[in-house]
Amino acid sequence: MLGNRPATYAETNRDILRVLFKPSPLFILAWLVSVGCLVFGAYHWYRQIFWGLGTDGMNQASFWGTFIVTFVFWVGIGHAGTLISAILFLVRSKWRTGVYRASEAMTVFAVMTALLFPMLHLGRVWQVYWFFPYPNQRQLWVNFKSPLMWDVFAISTYFTVSAVFFFIGLIPDLAIVRDHNTGLIAKVYNVLALGWRGTNRQWRHFMAAYGFFAAFATPLVLSVHSVVSWDFAMATTAGWHSTLFPPYFVAGAIFSGCAMVITLLMPMSYFFGWKKYVNMWHYDALAKMCLLTSAILTYSYATEYFIGWYSQNPYEWEIFQWRATGELAWAFWLMIFCNCIAPLPLYFKKLRHNHIFLFIVTILINVGMWFERFNIVVSSTAHSFDPSMWRAYNPSFNEYAILIGSAGWFFFLFLSFSKTFPSVAMMEIKEMVAPPVRGGHHE
């Protein structure tokens, strides 16, 4: 299963650097499509700023619409990257080496996308600094007892730690890009690599620091989506107020993230000719991770219903019945199909190893995970305690346009990265290669 490993250190460098700075026509087309989506979304954000939040479908009951849904979605996507880069590093899992760099890039870009949504949801984006505690004239401070404030700390810490972890891991590879180029490119990458030369002093502290970053990122990845889930679970809203939420959200985040890693890496490996580095070994491991987390989600959905019924709380039971039978039932059943049923065939190795089938399932998983958040966020507020406050929620065109724009922003960042930075960690791949020795075999 280890695939066709490179034979030498130099071969690794050559294979990974080969694709940089030389976009194919297909790549340029994909890049232009992502830019087009980004501009489309940006224009609709401009419309929203100009006309106000009335351009969106949110109303008095459903005050959290697709912006919060999409925020949770993108934060969740990021989780698999940190899982692969930090947790699998600490447990010395070998399959991470081929996929961790691209997954980590996915994490950073997904969190950058997610960070747009609280700003979008705010409406008056120029007052975004109110999120942060800062001394002001009236000595007013933020409410640290609010889960929303915990979320500000959790997401900003997550972004900072992920970005630092990502950049530090990138430094030795940036130095390789510099050393294999001349002129302006070499100069720019020398600055980005902070003049890295791979001396014993540099490597020693690099490895120590890298271990600590991994150790910090590990509890962080489990905590971030727990904190995001408390945005809901801390409120006494029927359908939200549950201690099940943190583990259920973390499992869902890893589920969608692993699916997104497969969605991104499969075409990348194919078009860049990187079968040696990213192959079925990795897809198989990621697909198994999807299966495990899909089982956890299915169990969580069932538990929610069981507790809704067993608690004999009429509000709780009402909202769960309404989710499955009310006007948003289509979203509920789409979620059940995509998250609980569609991944099941992956139990069969033959289907798991079928590239096209696996690729389609991972896309379905991400559709399902967006609708999971849609179900949670929208249904509980649209159908709350007081029947006189029941309102239908229909996302407006503006919201869909911004959703497309956010995907454009994410893919614009990811595609740009894949042509300008090494998307497979050369330094770590070399650790898998038997070192060159004169006096016989060495591992």
Partner 1 sequence: MSSHAAAAVAPANRIKGTYAHLDCLLAGIERLRAAGIQGFQVVSPLPRHEIEEALYGGAPSPVRWWTLTGAITGFTFGFLLPSLTHSQWPMINPGGKPVVSLPTFAIIMFECTILFGCLATLAGFIVHAGLPSFMLDKSLQDPRYSDDQFGIVFLNANVTQTDAITSILATSGAVEITTGDDTVYEVPNA
Query: In the complex with partner 1, which residue's Cβ is closer, 184 or 437?
Result: 437
Residues 318-357 that bind partner 1 (CB under 8 A): none
Smallest distance, Å, CB 272 to partner 1? 16
Based on the shown chain and the rule CB under 8 A, indicate whether residue 157 belongs to the binding site for partner 1: yes
Q: Are 192 and 174 in contact (CB under 8 A)?
A: yes
Based on the shown chain and the rule CB under 8 A, indicate whether residue 79 belongs to the binding site for partner 1: no
Based on the shown chain and the rule CB under 8 A, indicate whether residue 14 belongs to the binding site for partner 1: yes
| Cα–Cα distance list, 166 to 24, 173, 192 (Å) | 26, 12, 13
Query: In the complex with partner 1, which residue's Cβ is closer, 196 or 274?
Result: 196
The single-letter code of the amino acid at 85 is S
Cβ contacts of 99 within 8 Å, gap of 6 or more: 84, 261, 265, 278, 282, 286
SS3 144: coil
| Cα–Cα distance list, 114 to 102, 117, 151, 424, 427 (Å) | 18, 6, 12, 24, 30
**Segment near partner 1 (CB under 8 A), from 43-51, 359-367, 398-406, 427-435?**
427-435
Widest CA span in the chain:
83
Query: In the complex with partner 1, which residue's Cβ is closer, 110 or 429?
Result: 429
Q: Are 437 and 14 in contact (CB under 8 A)?
A: no
Query: In the complex with partner 1, which residue's Cβ is closer, 132 or 270?
Result: 132
Tokens of 287: 């697909």
**Segment near partner 1 (CB under 8 A), from 70-78, 171-179, 240-248, 341-349?**
171-179
Smallest distance, Å, CB 311 to partner 1? 23
Q: Is the dihedral of CA 232, 235, 237, 240 positive or negative?
A: positive
Based on the shown chain and the rule CB under 8 A, indicate whether residue 199 belongs to the binding site for partner 1: yes
Smallest distance, Å, CB 85 to partner 1? 14
Interface with partner 1 (CB under 8 A): 8-10, 13-14, 17, 133, 139, 141-142, 144-145, 149-150, 153-154, 156-157, 160-161, 164-165, 168, 172, 175-176, 179-182, 186, 190-191, 194-209, 212-213, 216, 219-220, 223, 227, 427, 430-431, 435-439, 442
